Structure 1
């Protein structure tokens, strides 16, 4: 097999696995992924030692997709609108990918690729949140990590209705974002978690 063939097979596997995990969550099987990619099952394990390693790479790719969106929005003229767009992108990624929240809970936080992507996500979320705080678009006590943790809230709220109403998450994200604004803010009962607490 040439290097070009190996690169092509890896890309086919990544695309097939991404689609399979998105549709079936952690129940996705290596057999179905291989069939979807049009390769032998053994080809999967030549590229990835375990199913978890494959999922870890896909999860990191998803996080990097959101990081790239955040970096693009970091200099937007309207910081509040930029933060909301970032949250919309993050929520939509999770709404269309059933494995995202499962992977976040199941994968080891010490896995290097995942940890690096999570740190980059936390940084870009704090950049966007800080700009929105300074602009008065969100409460003074909302942190970037608050934003990261809230990204799954809207998609998880409508998990059972996702197939019938695929855009319903937008309703709940709007409610969440309204709660971030300072108009009727009252003191929060608990402090925001630290990054160290989040990564364990």
Structure 2
């Protein structure tokens, strides 16, 4: 399902309302790109030339506005991810997937935030995140099955890479905007199967990863299942 399918099923807006909505989406895209997903909605409304009440009539919650604002970025990302999965060489597909992801991440601070977090209050956004995680699993498993990526790499390791790359982008975006590419390819060497050495710490479980991403969004963290007692 498209991230906009639910919105398209609503009654059509009048022309003036469509224009106000389009200005709000454009303003939000610019504000989120510069200041991240926690950008001021009041500023978004001011930049669009409307009152804050008008913004909330079109987008009752911040998540509704995020959904609309990130539609083009998400489509670009998901299309690139699908193309990476179609590559004949699994390693090339793995590299292509990560380069596409980090290229889009580097160009938009809001999308950087979006990739790094989970939003349990929005079933629509959660569905998109689930699809993204499945793509990561697919491209990773394909490269591992071909013996190109070390077998102990997990989804959580890729998300860790997204987090660390996000901080690097924050630090270098105005001084060395392409620095992320060097860091990515250094890490790719560490992921090669022939470079594998034992790692003393296992990857986070899916539950731990989800809780960490929810925490970044500021939402209430889901309870983790009880851990088995550590052997002494």
Task: Indicate the TM-score class for this superposition, using the shorter chain for normalisation.
Answer: 0.7 to 0.9
Q: Which of residues 146, 150, 156 in structure 1 aligns to 2:167?
A: 156
Equivalent residues in 2 for 1:27-46 (5 A)? 28-46=39-57
Measure how far apart 1:164 and its partner are: 1.4
TM-score (norm 2): 0.73
Q: Which of residues 208, 218, 232 in structure 2 aligns to 1:197?
A: 208
Measure how far apart 1:195 and its partner are: 2.7
Q: Which residue of 1 aligns with 2:4?
A: none
Q: Which residue of 1 aligns with 2:126?
A: 115
Measure how far apart 1:143 and its partner are: 2.6
Measure how far apart 1:80 and its partner are: 1.1
CA contact (8 A) 2:116 2:159 kept: no
Q: Which residue of 1 aligns with 2:84?
A: 73
Q: Which residue of 2 aligns with 1:88?
A: 99
Extract unaligned runs of 5+ from structure 1. Answer: none
Q: Which residue of 1 aligns with 2:147?
A: 136
- Which structure dedicates a bigger proportion of its chain to helix? 1
In 2, Cα distance between the equivalents of 1:78 and 1:138? Answer: 12
Measure how far apart 1:105 and its partner are: 6.2
Aligned residues: 200
Alpha-carbon spacing, 1:6–1:105, altered in 2? closer, same or farther (3 Å): same
CA contact (8 A) 1:57 1:113 kept: no
Asked if 1:22 is matched to 2:33, the reply is yes
Alpha-carbon spacing, 1:99–1:147, altered in 2? closer, same or farther (3 Å): same
Alpha-carbon spacing, 1:189–1:65, altered in 2? closer, same or farther (3 Å): farther
In 2, Cα distance between the equivalents of 1:92 and 1:12? Answer: 26
Q: Which residue of 2 aligns with 1:181?
A: 192
In 1, Cα distance between the equivalents of 2:118 and 2:149? Answer: 31
In 1, Cα distance between the equivalents of 2:74 and 2:67? Answer: 11
Spell out, residue by residue over 1:100-148, the C-alpha distance to the aligned partner (whole angstroms, 9 max, x if none): 4445667633421221111101111111111111222211122344323
> Which protein shows a greater Rg?
2
Q: Calculate the aligned-residue CA RMSD, in Å.
A: 2.7
Measure how far apart 1:32 and its partner are: 2.3
Spell out, residue by residue over 1:63-89, the C-alpha distance to the aligned partner (whole angstroms, 9 max, x if none): 554333212221211221121121112
